[in-house]
Chains A and B, each alone.
Chain A
Amino acid sequence: MKQKSVAIVGAAETTNMGKIPNQSVIGLHADAALNAMRDAGLTAKDIDGVATAGESPVELAHYLGITPTWADGTSVGGCSFMLHVRHAAAAINAGLCKTVLITHAESGKSRVGARKFGRDPASQMGQFEVPFGVTSPPTMFTIPVLRYMKETGTTLEDLATVAVIQREWAAKNPRASYRDPITVDDVLNSSMIAWPFTKLMCCLVTDGGGALILTSAERAKDFPQKPVYIIGTGECVETPTVSQMEDFTTSKAFRVSGKKAFDEAGIKHADVDHLMIYDAFAHLPLYGLEDLGFCKRGEAAAFIRERNTAIGGKLPLNTNGGGLSYMHSGMYGMYALQESVRQMRGLAPAQVPGAKISVAHGVGGMFAASGTIIFSNEAP
């Protein structure tokens, strides 16, 4: 499969972000979709492929008035949208459809029209994790980190520094939920959620959504926005239960997905101008930097501490402020993709000057799944 022949021609987030009590989940999907269609100069009748997670692609298609010849309901958590982009590129290349709409929305904070939480007590998680108090992301995603810290020498101050530097990026983003500067001490002294994680090491809970429109690179030149080309993609899934992750100091799903994407793009790490790593919690960027190959094992904390990922650094990371400071409605992968597209269009609030290649790396579940998309703003 030749992935280099598909581009993003429409990209938008919901009109509002943060707390949106006057729109339901499906209403937010539609708001994001309509904004992306306007961005691309299209209407629903121009769309012949749909993909979404959380909601059914059937519900999405019918609500918007789309009759698709291709639908993807892959739902593996917050990186589902990276997988949708990968699957959509393959579908377009295979001739299954021409123009694909991918949407995400959640009423994470307001819970308007949102699905209920809960695990089937006969599922793997319901039998072997929930009975011990593993009931929400702060008690799942966080469990590997003490092992990672012991093996790598990473400290609590290092974890806090991730949040501090991302807040610096958020300060430049008018849509970010949290923009006031914070210090390492502020992070360490914020309320304890699940040792060793304090509140400011955990992502936000907000309402919002986003949508992307993809078509062939050949057609992309005729659209109003500068095309953003998909030059590499990867995906992998590992385990439904964090306790069964192969190694608590590295994610197999991250490594497999990242390598696929880099191999497909045929680029080196030094070629990457901009990076997004889904940061549901402060340790995720550390795992991501190492598992994607930007840092050697155990060196990510120093890489961040030395401000390589900060404003003016050589590898700008999570430039929208990330899930820690920008927004996190539940499945953040869509917002990482949106920021990569903005950077490639040259329109980001904290624009990286001259950026030509951007990597968006997502996690799904609690290290359960992963998807990686590499973008370029230069025609392949």
Chain B
Amino acid sequence: MADYPRPLPVPTPETQAFWDGCLAGELRLQKCDACAHTYFPPRDFCPACSGRKVTTFKASGKASLYSYVINHRPRPDFGTAPHSIAVVTLAEGPRMMTNIIDCPQTPEALQLDMALEVAFEKASETIALPKFRPVKG
């Protein structure tokens, strides 16, 4: 873990709760107290209505595959094997960038709209990255 070769996020005060959640094994989103809009990335106000009262909650971790590429020329710190770079739509609505893991990194295996679930990959003592894998069955 200590020599995880890839660039890692540096949390800011506005995003710390999200990254703390990943380390604790939960995907945290925020919802506006006033207009009920659920959003990502994290910030301490609602981007839909500018309200300052928002609540952080544990999301389901369920998602579907919105779009992706398979990078055949990764930067050296991301290894040499082709790997997916994907955007998923969370069950709660927001989208996020991730990688699809635990399946072949091929167009045949990666079908748009397939069901996914979050899986956290611990990268350092303070950071775990939210990745997604196909839902079995």
Contact = CB atoms under 8 A, between A and B. Distances in A.
User: Is B one of A's binding partners?
Assistant: yes
Interface of A: 120-122, 124, 126-136, 138-139, 142-147, 150, 191-197, 241-244, 248
Contacts of A147: 66-67, 112
29 contacts: A121-B7, A122-B9, A126-B7, A127-B9, A127-B10, A127-B15, A128-B41, A128-B97, A129-B97, A131-B7, A132-B85, A133-B75, A133-B83, A134-B85, A136-B75, A138-B71, A138-B73, A139-B71, A143-B86, A192-B72, A194-B71, A195-B70, A197-B69, A241-B97, A242-B87, A243-B95, A243-B97, A248-B66, A248-B67
Contact of A131 (B8, B15, B74): B8
Given A133-B75, A193-B73, A197-B69, 7 more contacts: A122-B11, A127-B41, A128-B97, A132-B99, A138-B73, A193-B72, A195-B82
Nearest to B11: A127
Given A138-B73, A244-B95, A126 B85 contact: no
B69 A194 contact: yes
Contacts of A122: 9-12
A139 B66 contact: no
A94 B38 CA distance: 43
A192 to B, nearest CB: 4
Contact of B96 (A142, A243, A248): A243
A146 B112 contact: yes
A146 B8 contact: no
A136 B74 CA distance: 10
B70 to A, nearest CB: 4
B85 A143 contact: yes
B32 interface: no
Contact of B99 (A127, A133, A194): A133
B67 A131 contact: no
B118 to A, nearest CB: 13
B6 interface: yes
Interface string B101-137: 0000001000010000000000100000100000000
Contacts, number: 106
B11 A195 contact: no
Interface string B55-69: 000000000001111
Contacts of A139: 69, 71, 85
A242 B78 CA distance: 20
Nearest to A118: B7
B11 to A, nearest CB: 7
Nearest to B75: A135
Nearest to B131: A132
Contacts of B68: 143, 146
B10 A126 contact: yes
A192 B95 CA distance: 27
B10 A131 contact: no
B111 to A, nearest CB: 10
Contacts of B73: 138, 193-194
Nearest to B66: A147
A127 B87 CA distance: 15
B7 A248 contact: no
A150 B112 contact: yes
Contacts of A138: 69, 71, 73
B96 A128 contact: yes
Contacts of B8: 121, 131
Nearest to B67: A147
Given A145-B67, A197-B69, A130 B96 contact: no
